[in-house]
Chain A
Amino acid sequence: MLQIDIASAIALSDLQKKKLESSLQKKYSNKELVFDYQVKEELIGGLSVSVAGELHDASLRARLNQLANKI
């Protein structure tokens, strides 16, 4: 069983969820995936996906933080 946490600035549509889940299912085909969706306004825009603790953060908040670190 693989826990996948998905956070986004606004709620994902069913279509978006489906697209995301099917893609992840293909990637981890031999595992049972458990999805947990959360809405976090502090992300400003975009979403972040955590697969078994490994974070893929593409939110605007993360990009602003990267930008701030580069300044």
Chain B
Amino acid sequence: MEINLAQIIFQMINFGMVLAALTYLIYKPVLKLLEDRRKRVADAAEAAAAVMKEKENLEKVKEKTLSEASAKAKKMEDEIRKEAKADAKLLLEESKSEITAKEAKFSSELAKLKKEELKSMESEVKKAALTIAEKVLGSSIDAKKHQKLIDDQINEIIESL
């Protein structure tokens, strides 16, 4: 077998041209495609990382908001309880004061009523005593005693004039 240098050179040029054509038509576009894909993947990963970071931030904000809301609700609850307790205490004190005042008024009225009743009874007793005395005296004084009494009283009146 004889080596044909021209043939070899031709083949080499041919190969080079095919290689150049393939490089230009396939290799470079494929490389560009791969690069574009890598870039898209990287962008997507970056976007995903940003989204994850955003999600984490949102979670933190959510937790903070929930915590603040919970603390605020607790504070409001405490304040409401405190106010309710103070109101109840005030109401109780007012009720006690009112009851004390009513008791004092009732005692005063009762004492007044007792006094009036006692006075009325005393008056009734006086009237009864007077009536009894009148009846006893009226029935026990005879004409002789009447005359004697008048004689005595004439002297008494004359002395007093």
Q: Which residues of chain B are within 8 angstroms of A56 by Cβ–Cβ distance? A: 157, 160-161
Q: CA of A13 to CA of B122 in the docked complex: distance in angstroms?
A: 40
Q: Let me know if A27 and B156 touch, CB within 8 A.
A: no
Q: Within the complex, which residue of A10, A13, A58 is in contact with B156, where a contact is CB–CB below 8 Å?
A: A58
Binds A, one of B39-47, B49-57, B146-154: B146-154
Q: Which residues of chain A are within 8 angstroms of B87 by Cβ–Cβ distance? A: none
Write the nearest CB–CB distance from A36 to chain B, whole angstroms: 16
Chain A proximity mask over B5-37: 1 for CB below 8 Å, otherwise 0: 000000000000000000000000000000000
Q: Which residues of chain A are within 8 angstroms of B134 by Cβ–Cβ distance? A: 44, 61, 64
Chain A proximity mask over B124-160: 1 for CB below 8 Å, otherwise 0: 0111011001100110010101110111011011101
Q: CA of A15 to CA of B113 in the docked complex: distance in angstroms?
A: 56
Given A56-B161, A71-B126, answer yes or no on A45-B154 (Cβ-Cβ < 8 Å). no
> In terms of DSSP, what is the predominant structure of the interface of chain B?
helix
Using a Cβ cutoff of 8 Å, how many contacts connect chains A and B?
69
Q: Within the complex, which residue of B126, B129, B133, B150 is in contact with A8, where a contact is CB–CB below 8 Å?
A: B150
Q: Within the complex, which residue of A27, A46, A68 is in contact with B161, where a contact is CB–CB below 8 Å?
A: A27
Q: Within the complex, which residue of A10, A51, A68, A71 is in contact with B143, where a contact is CB–CB below 8 Å?
A: A10
Q: Which residues of chain B are within 8 angstroms of A71 by Cβ–Cβ distance? A: 122, 125-126, 129
* A38 interfacial contact with B, CB 8 Å: no
* A9 interfacial contact with B, CB 8 Å: yes
Tell me the A5-24 residues at the B interface (CB within 8 Å).
8-10, 12-13, 16, 19-20, 23-24
Chain B proximity mask over A20-50: 1 for CB below 8 Å, otherwise 0: 1001100100000000000000001111010
Chain B residue at minimal CB-CB distance from A19: B154
Residues of A participating in the B interface, judged by any CB pair closer than 8 Å: 8-10, 12-13, 16, 19-20, 23-24, 27, 44-47, 49, 51, 56, 58-61, 64-65, 67-68, 71
25 A-B pairs with CB atoms under 8 Å apart are A8-B150, A9-B146, A10-B143, A16-B147, A16-B151, A20-B154, A23-B154, A27-B161, A44-B134, A44-B137, A45-B137, A45-B141, A46-B153, A47-B157, A51-B161, A56-B157, A58-B156, A60-B141, A61-B134, A64-B130, A68-B126, A68-B129, A71-B125, A71-B126, A71-B129
